[in-house]
Amino acid sequence: MPTPYLVIDGLTKVYERGQVHALRGLSFSVEKGEFLVVIGLSGSGKSTLLRCINRLIEPTEGKIWLDGTDVARLSAKRMRRVRRRIGMIFQQFNLVDRATTVRNVLTGRLGYMPGWRSLLGLFSSQDKQTALANLERVGLRDKAYARVDELSGGQRQRVGIARALMQKPEILLADEPVSALDPATSHSIMQYLEQMNRQDGVTVIASLHFLSLARRYGTRIIALKDGQLVFDGPPKTIDNAKFKEIYGEDAEEVEVR
Ligand X SMILES: Nc1ncnc2c1ncn2[C@@H]1O[C@H](COP(=O)(O)OP(=O)(O)OP(=O)(O)O)[C@@H](O)[C@H]1O
Interface with ligand X by CB under 6 A: which residues? 15, 17-18, 20, 22, 40, 42-48
Decide whether 169 or 221 has the Cβ nearer to another protein: 169
Q: Which stretch binds Mg ion (CB under 5 A): 15-23, 44-52, 56-64, 139-147?
A: 44-52
Decide whether 196 or 229 has the Cβ nearer to another protein: 196
- Distance, CA of 182 to chain centre: 19
Q: Which stretch binds Mg ion (CB under 5 A): 40-48, 195-203, 226-234, 245-253?
A: 40-48
CB of 219 to another protein, least distance (A): 24
CB of 140 to another protein, least distance (A): 17
CB of 11 to Mg ion, least distance (A): 16
Output DSSP code: residue 127.
Answer: H
Among 47, 54, 101, 130, binds Mg ion (CB under 5 A): 47
CB of 86 to another protein, least distance (A): 7
| Contact residues for 170 (Cβ-Cβ < 8 A; gap 6+) | 67, 85, 86, 202, 203
Whole-number CA gyration radius for the chain: 18
